[in-house]
Amino acid sequence: MLYSLIYGLLTTIPELPIIEQSIRNLFYHVSMWFTMVAMMAGSFGNAISYLSKENLNRDLRSVSLAELGMVFASLGLLTGMMWARFTWGAWWTNDPKLNGSAITVLIYLAYFVLRNAMDDERKRARISAVYNIFAFVMMIVFIGILPRMTDSLHPGNGGNPGFNSYDLDNRLRLVFYPAVLGWIFIGTWIASLRYRLRKLQA
């Protein structure tokens, strides 16, 4: 399985961009966020599974995925700031999506603080699984729902329906979706490395 993940990683790279200019960031910046949502969804799934089966490995998987999600979220924020500086003219704007994602990052930071505050394994696993469910729902609200209800600089928000409003033509899609899949593979792969390390440490 590990090999298939690595092959998934290798095949996506040659498919990356040969199109226009700054829109190429679609493949990098946007796929960071897609991957982050995928990581958090995996973390959420494992948290639920821990609560029903009480298997500590599920808890370890859940943290590792959330950690990778945080890595992708910070990369998404930093690349977004870079892109925003030269498109919108400022590193940070009061765009609902920007503030929503910043709040999401803070919510997940609190998740790690909460985990580190507890010593008892079972208790830590249960409480952080419950918090994880809360954090995931808040993430959906803050980056998935609220920005769509107000005006935003991001495409697909404030009335315009999702993806078609970009110039996301078929050539872009052809690169974008494999890129997202590839990043999700890389993310789950590194998360599984992190999980194995955690298991050895436990």
Partner 1 sequence: MRKSIASLFALIPFGAFAQNDNIMYSEGKIYVVIAVITIIFIGLAGYLVKLDRSIKKLENEK
Tally helices (H) and strands (E) across the chain.
8, 0
DSSP characters for 33-55? HHHHHHHHHHHHHHHHHHHHH--
Is 78 a binder of partner 1 (CB under 8 A)? Answer: yes
- Return the structure tokens found at 190: 């590194």
Of 8, 41, 48, 83, the one binding partner 1 by CB under 8 A: 83
Give min distance, CB of 142 to partner 1, in A.
22
Is 93 a binder of partner 1 (CB under 8 A)? Answer: no
User: Cα dist. 35→31, 70, 100, 113 in Å?
Assistant: 6, 10, 17, 23
Is 190 a binder of partner 1 (CB under 8 A)? Answer: yes
Is 19 a binder of partner 1 (CB under 8 A)? Answer: no
Considering only residues 20-39, where is the footprint of partner 1 by CB under 8 A?
20-22, 24-25, 28-29, 32
Is 85 a binder of partner 1 (CB under 8 A)? Answer: yes
Of 49, 79, 93, 192, the one binding partner 1 by CB under 8 A: 79
Residues in the chain: 202
User: Cα dist. 86→15, 25, 78, 176 in Å?
Assistant: 26, 12, 13, 22
- Classify residue 129 as exposed, middle or buried by CB count within 10 Å of its CB (0-12, 13-18, 19+): buried
The residue to which tokens 């979706």 are assigned: 177
For partner 1, the closer of residues 59 and 67 by Cβ is: 67
Is 10 a binder of partner 1 (CB under 8 A)? Answer: no
Is 199 a binder of partner 1 (CB under 8 A)? Answer: no
For partner 1, the closer of residues 154 and 194 by Cβ is: 194
Is 112 a binder of partner 1 (CB under 8 A)? Answer: no
Distance CA 17, CA 176 (A): 9
Residues interacting with partner 1, by CB under 8 A? 17, 20-22, 24-25, 28-29, 32, 71, 74-75, 78-79, 82-83, 85-87, 91, 190, 193-194, 197, 200-201
